[in-house]
Amino acid sequence: MDDLSVSKASRRGSGHAALLGDQDVAAALRAAGVPVTAVCEPTSAVRFSRHTSGWLDRPRSDDALVTALLQHAGQADGPVVLYYEEDDDLLFVSRRREELRGALRFVVPDADLVEQLVDKAAFQRLADMLELPVPPTQVLDLSPTVPETVDIALPVLVKPVRRGHEWRTVTASKAVLVTEQDKLQDLLETLAPHHSRVLLQRHVPGPETRIESYHVYVDPAGEVAAEFTGRKLRTHPASLGHSTALVTTDAPDVVRLGRTITQILGLRGVAKFDFKRDPAGRLWLLEVNPRFTLWHHVGAAAGVNIPALVWADLMGLPRPTVASARAGVTWCRITRDCLAARQGGVSMAAWLRWLARCDTRSLGNPLPWLVDKVTHVHPRGHGTRPVLRGRG
């Protein structure tokens, strides 16, 4: 293996983190003094981040990735701790855990639980069995034909069992809100060629700012080693979009419910629980993600650095002191939050003032922002000539 692909830290013998993820998890690790090797494609932004100190080229196949990680760990002078951030990477680590475990250190929940939490249809069955507080949901089979009626009252959110490329060709949002039966039928007909099953979930009223989250690290003994709560500030798209601005909170009811569900699931490792608070104040569980997330960046700034605690445990080091997370600590993904703020009617001047006060930031991928900012389809004539946007 090329020496350039081995983290500088690994050659010092102090151990390092190998990250299947982005800059936010790397930022939390760097804040704790942990050297990070990014395992990613050559053009990935995290490779060039100031939070990483090495790079390992990521192969396309899982078999090749196992080989690359094992070779990397075998060449390192110290232990290698593996972190993962996306569902696909979670499944990779979980399904290949026996091959990886001899050379790398990592935390991951029980394999069956991982499969049930990632697959939304399986999660719904689990939630029904355990009587978890999820909104009424129907798993709908679209094959061989699309049903003409459904067993759940509108409005509903239509969700994929797993989000992938086919879903993103339909919408940039995580789900589609449908309020009329004919539009639901049209959407199901559109989805049917690519999705054999979808979920219909009763819509919990309210904006995305009512989505709150519980973040936890449960150690191998089953003890909660760290936890904090947070809330979305903005998403892009504005409805059912991806997070662009976040804030930590002090929400005792979210903590209580998060702890309860953690115990019911028998979860070990790290997880994020997403809830939505309805107009009456009741919390509804939307999903459980048993992996590292971008939230760990702002959590570390608020005083609860979960990736650092995992590092200490896996390296056999004393845990850092953990206090209650400070509420009101903010994060944003700059390029996409610029779009989200504009979509929400926030002026550029007001957003820039907010950005200057924001506690933690991630650049993200600048390409969508640049395309949206610089060009648009010319509204007149037959061409699609890109033109500069005006100040309006």
- Bridge partners of residue 147, in order along the sequence: none
The answer to whether residue 374 sits within a structural domain is no
Tell the residue number behind the tokens 């996409």, with chain if given.
Answer: 336
- What pLDDT does 2 receive? 31
**Whether residues 198 and 212 fall in one domain:** no
CA distance 306 to 92: 21
CA distance 264 to 266: 6
**Whether residues 330 and 184 fall in one domain:** no
Is the N-terminal amide bond of 155 cis, ω within 30° of 0? yes
**Whether residues 242 and 352 fall in one domain:** yes
The 3 state secondary structure assigned to the chain is CCHHHCCHHHHHCCCEEEEECCHHHHHHHHHCCCCEEEEECCCCHHHHCCCCCEEEECCCCHHHHHHHHHHHHHHCCCCEEEEECCHHHHHHHHHCHHHHHCCCECCCCCHHHHHHHHCHHHHHHHHHHHCCCCCCEEEEECCCCCCCCCCCCCCEEEEECCCCHHHHCCCCCCCEEECCHHHHHHHHHHHCCCCCEEEEEECCCCCHHHEEEEEEEECCCCCEEEEEEEEEEEEECCCCCEEEEEEEECCHHHHHHHHHHHHHHCCCEEEEEEEEECCCCCEEEEEEECCCCCHHHHHHHCCCCHHHHHHHHHHCCCCCCCCCCCCCCEEEEHHHHHHHHHHCCCCHHHHHHHHHHCCEEECCCCHHHHHHHHCCCCCCCCCCCCCCCCCC
Provide the domain count of the chain. 3
**Whether residues 220 and 357 fall in one domain:** yes
The answer to whether residue 237 sits within a structural domain is yes
Is the N-terminal amide bond of 144 cis, ω within 30° of 0? yes
**Whether residues 324 and 254 fall in one domain:** yes
CA distance 17 to 40: 13
- What pLDDT does 365 receive? 53
For the chain, residues with pLDDT lower than 50 are: 1-13, 366-392
Residue 97 CB burial class (10 angstroms; 0-12, 13-18, ≥19):
middle
The answer to whether residue 160 sits within a structural domain is yes
Write out the two tokens for 291: 């992996």
**Whether residues 325 and 227 fall in one domain:** yes
**Whether residues 71 and 184 fall in one domain:** no
**Whether residues 238 and 348 fall in one domain:** yes
- What pLDDT does 35 receive? 97
**Whether residues 144 and 72 fall in one domain:** no
* Cα–Cα distance list, 315 to 107, 310, 322 (Å): 12, 8, 17
pTM: 0.87
Rounded to 5 degrees, φ, ψ at 145 are: -135, 155
What's the domain range around 151?
Answer: 136-202
- What pLDDT does 309 receive? 97
**Whether residues 194 and 68 fall in one domain:** no
- Using one digit for the tens of pLDDT, what is the confidence trace for 322-350? 889 999 999 999 999 999 999 999 999 99
**Whether residues 95 and 178 fall in one domain:** no
Contacts of 8 (CB under 8 A, 6+ apart): 35, 53, 54
For residue 297, the domain's CATH number is 3.30.470.20
- What pLDDT does 249 receive? 98
The answer to whether residue 215 sits within a structural domain is yes
For residue 148, the domain's CATH number is 3.30.1490.20
The answer to whether residue 390 sits within a structural domain is no
The answer to whether residue 367 sits within a structural domain is no
**Whether residues 193 and 61 fall in one domain:** no
Rounded to 5 degrees, φ, ψ at 160 are: -80, 155
CA distance 1 to 25: 26
The answer to whether residue 325 sits within a structural domain is yes
- What pLDDT does 364 receive? 65
The answer to whether residue 99 sits within a structural domain is yes
- What pLDDT does 101 receive? 95
- Using one digit for the tens of pLDDT, what is the confidence trace for 105-151? 999 999 999 999 999 999 999 999 999 999 999 999 998 888 888 88
| Residue finishing a domain among 202, 231, 250 | 202
Closest listed residue to residue 40, CA positions, set 12, 9, 72:
72
- What pLDDT does 226 receive? 97
